[in-house]
Structures are given as structure tokens and as C-alpha cells.
Amino acid sequence: MNKPFAITLNVGSSLANKTGSWRSFRPAYVNRLPPCNNACPAGEDTQGWLFHAESGDYEAAWRHLTEANPMPAVMGRVCYHPCEGACNRGQLDSAVGINSVERFLGDEAIKQGWKFAAPAAETGKRILVVGAGPSGLSAAYQLRRMGHQVVIFEAGPLAGGMMRFGIPKYRLPREVLDAEVQRILDMGVEMRLNTKVEDLLKTMKEEKFDAAFLAVGAHIAKRTAIPAAESAKILDAVSVLRSMEGEDKPMLGRRVVVYGGGNTAIDVARTAKRLGAEEAIIVYRRTRDKMPAHDFEVEEALQEGVMMRWLSTIKQVGEGAIQVEKMELDENGKPVPTGEFDTLEADSVILALGQDVDLGLLNGVPDLSFEDGVVKVGENMMTGYPGIFAGGDMVPSDRTVTVGVGHGKLAARHINAWLAGTTYVKPPKKELATFEKLNTWYYTDADKTVRPMLDIIRRQSTFDEVQGGLNEDNALFEARRCLSCGNCFECDNCYGVCPDNAVIKLGPGKKFEFNYDYCKGCGVCVEECPCGAIKMEAEAS
């Protein structure tokens, strides 16, 4: 080419000047802990699987998710999603609908028939899991992935535990549960239904189990002494919900009173409404804000016509009516009786006062310790008896499906290590990616996608699922609302702002590295990183 004189020149270079030598601080790419991951009782890498969902690779997202939790379709329905409570986006507009994306991925997996991979190698170890609830299933899945032989002993006629016999259908359709349980069994997990373990040590010895994970749950209803007439109909919530799964639906009458303030009380009151009760009244001794039940469930129950009687205790149950005493809160917020009484018409009273654990299988097992009716376990989820681990509702916990799944996973890791004669050490927690570490200016405004709710009339008369799911379009949108807190999502900002061209792009999915020969340590990349995935470190002097 005939180049214009002195205007177009051969390419020169200033690469001989290694400006990196000027640096006193250096930037470094880091992975911080996103608050959603931090808050997840099941230990899901939420931000990690959302990252795949954002690019529409739902199978990769599902596979990433199920490393921690084998039942996303269940979890996407019943989890109380503490992740969303912790989500940094909540301080910007509203939290990412993590739970709804999880459900979408779970449903998509069922639709597409995605399966778990079989373990790479068999260890030859045999592990007993007692109880096919969330915790037992989670442990069985994790242990099977590690190559152990797993046998689940389930006392009930069907798998699922409280997911089947406690959570009503309108929150968790049974075909969803069945599909996710079956997928775990398809990995080669053996399940023995209607098989109650009466003597744990004997069973372990007879069947040559190397270790056991106990997750029998808590399904013995707590009772309270209330004077009652001979003909009074007093039921407990656990039995009522359990009988919903059988042929004979419970007969509750036209006016049903539920006693208690937890999620179970809400579930049973909403169930009663659907069974045709004209009145379903929850009697609770404190006020709404003191209720252990989640507020959105209280709200949904109210929408469906469930009535609430706050600050009341049941003093007496007669035939067709009950006597309640009004309470008031003292200066410490404790309910105290007022001596004022009232009468409510009631055909039946359902007690929802919490559940105890049936610890019968542990008879004869030495060195165990108990507290408040549950088994004490160490940080490694092992009971006082070596090789016997426990989790879920039968150990001290918040008693949610998510906590149960988390216990199962954690116990599986410890069992795996214990069997190998080693100890599982949790990797140290990374620094938390707090809101202050983000540059939210860079993110586009995007309102949360609200999941559709079933029509109120159907909610009052059928057991159809109340909350709908997202479709592919809005699930993708919702996933893309993720700010990727503390973890690089390859936005190219650092690459674009670096005044020294010292950010090297390694290609899609491979992120970046710094060329410290030329990085002057100005820190612009750190300042302008939207998600707080770079930090400055002092140079060693």
C-alpha cells in the first residue's frame, strides 16, 4: 500500500515499558460468597446454577443445582427460600425469584426426563438410610453418587415423608414428588416400603450395613390436656394431613377449629376449607406477628376464607361448641389469661401443636444423648454411637424440607469420610459478597416476575396447585435478574476500562487474567466491576 507520508506509519509499540513495575497494589479476581448461597440451608450454589440458566442452558443449570439438592421441583414449591430474603437485588428492586427458577428447572427436568448419572465406581460399602423423607432421600442420593450401596427403610406405604403426608397437594402435587423420588431410585438406590426398623443395631448387623443415616422425621402429634366432652371430636393435624393421602378422607364437619399457629395449622385449616368446611377457624394464643407460620401462607389462608381467632386458648371442647378464653400480652409479649370467655361453634377441633419424634428404633443403642425429644448429633451429623448418623426433623433443626435436604447432604459427606477413615473438612467460607461490594448502577432495571396464582374459587374447593410456575421466557428473564454477586459473569467491564490493556480475555467461559507486566495497579477495574469479583491486594514489598 502506498501510505500517505508521515500520516500512516508502521505499527509501533510501547511494550518495552513494563509499567507493572510502578504498582504498589495489584488487582486480583476473586470469588466471593453470594448471600443466596450463604443463606441456603441445603447448601445450593444458587448463583452458580443461575449463571447457567441465564444463558438458557437449563440442563447445565439443573445438573449444577442437583449437586446439592436432588429435588428442585419439590424445593421450587415448598422451600421458604431464605436465599431470596438474603438476595442483594432485594435492596435494588426486589429479590431474584430464585425459588421460581428452581421450580422451572425441576419441572423442565421432569418434562425432559433428565436422569442422574450412575456413580463412576462402586465402593462396596453398604449404608442404611432410615426414613424416605427429604433428609433420607437427600442422603441416599449423595451417598449413591459417591458409589455406596444404599438401602432405604421406610415405615410408611409410600416415599416422601412429610413431603407426602404433611404438605398438602395444593402446595406439592404428588406426581412431582413421585418423579423426583423415582429419579433417585433409578440411580440404584434400594427402597423398602412398609419396613419399620424396630431394632437398629440388629438390622445393621443382620444386613451388614457399614453405617446408618437416620431420618425418621417427627410425626407424632403433640397433645395438650383439654377437658373434653365424651362425644367431642378432637383430631390432630398430622393424622388429618396423613389421612388425606388415603382412600378415606377425614370427616371434619361444617365448622372446624384448628388449634395452633404454625405452618401445619395453616395447612390443615386450608385443607379443611377445601374438604367443604363452611368455617375453618384458627385459634392461636398470641397475635399474627408472633405466629411461627410464614406470613405469606397466613395471607393465602385468609384469602381462601380461613378465619383467625388471635389471643385465644381453648379451655373446653364440648359437643358442637368449644369454650375459648381471651388472652392478652403482658409487657414481655407473653400471653396471659384474662378470665373472659367465649363460645365458638365447632364440629371438630384439630390440634396443630407441633410434633415429636418416634425414637423407638434407638432402643438398645448405647452412648446416645437426647435433648427436648430429639437426638443430639455432632457437627459431623454423627450421633454418640460411631457409624450412626442422623438428620432432619429428628435432630435439633428448623424442621423444613430444605434443612432436611441440607442435613442429608452434609451427613453423606461425613459418612463417606468416616467410612474411609478420614474426616470431612468443610471448605472455609469465602468472604461474603455484600451489597456494598456491588456497582448496581451497571444493571438494568427489571421487575420481578410474579408467578401466577390459581383462581380463588378453585383454591377454596379443589386441591389443584395454588401457585403456578414460570414458563421458559419469564424463567430466563428471572434468571437474568441475578446480579452474580461476587462472581465474574464476563461482562467485559474490566477489559473495557483498563487503561493499560492489561486485562487478558481468555475466551467465553474462561474469564480473564491480569497481565501484571503492564497493570499499574490503578484499581479502575475494581471500582468498575459490577459484581464485586475483583479486589485490590497490597504488593509484597
User: From CA 139, how far away is CA 375, in angstroms rounded?
Assistant: 17
- Residues in touch with other proteins (CB under 8 A): 1-12
- Which sign, positive or negative, has the C-alpha torsion 486, 92, 75, 167? positive
Q: Which has the closest alpha carbon to 262: 295, 234, 218?
A: 295
Nearest distance from residue 514's CB to other proteins, in Å? Answer: 25
Nearest distance from residue 1's CB to other proteins, in Å? Answer: 6
| Maximum alpha-carbon separation in the chain | 112
Nearest distance from residue 507's CB to other proteins, in Å? Answer: 19
Nearest distance from residue 413's CB to other proteins, in Å? Answer: 52
Q: Which residues, 6 or more positions from 12, have their beta carbon under 8 angstroms from its beta carbon? A: none
Nearest distance from residue 504's CB to other proteins, in Å? Answer: 19
Q: Which is nearer to other proteins, 13 or 422 (CB)?
A: 13
Q: Which is nearer to other proteins, 5 or 441 (CB)?
A: 5
| DSSP class per residue in 328-378 | EE-TTS-EEEEEEEEEEE-SEEEE---EE---GGGTT-TT--EETTEE---
Q: Which is nearer to other proteins, 4 or 427 (CB)?
A: 4
Nearest distance from residue 13's CB to other proteins, in Å? Answer: 10
User: From CA 312, how far away is CA 284, in angstroms rounded?
Assistant: 6
User: From CA 160, how far away is CA 155, in angstroms rounded?
Assistant: 11
Q: Which is nearer to other proteins, 7 or 117 (CB)?
A: 7
**Residue 44 main-chain phi, psi, to 5 deg:** -70, 145
Q: Which is nearer to other proteins, 7 or 457 (CB)?
A: 7
**Residue 131 main-chain phi, psi, to 5 deg:** 105, 125
Nearest distance from residue 495's CB to other proteins, in Å? Answer: 19
Q: Which is nearer to other proteins, 2 or 423 (CB)?
A: 2
Q: Which is nearer to other proteins, 12 or 427 (CB)?
A: 12
Q: Which residues, 6 or more positions from 230, have their beta carbon under 8 angstroms from its beta carbon? A: none
Task: Label the pairing between strands 234-236 and 348-351.
Answer: parallel
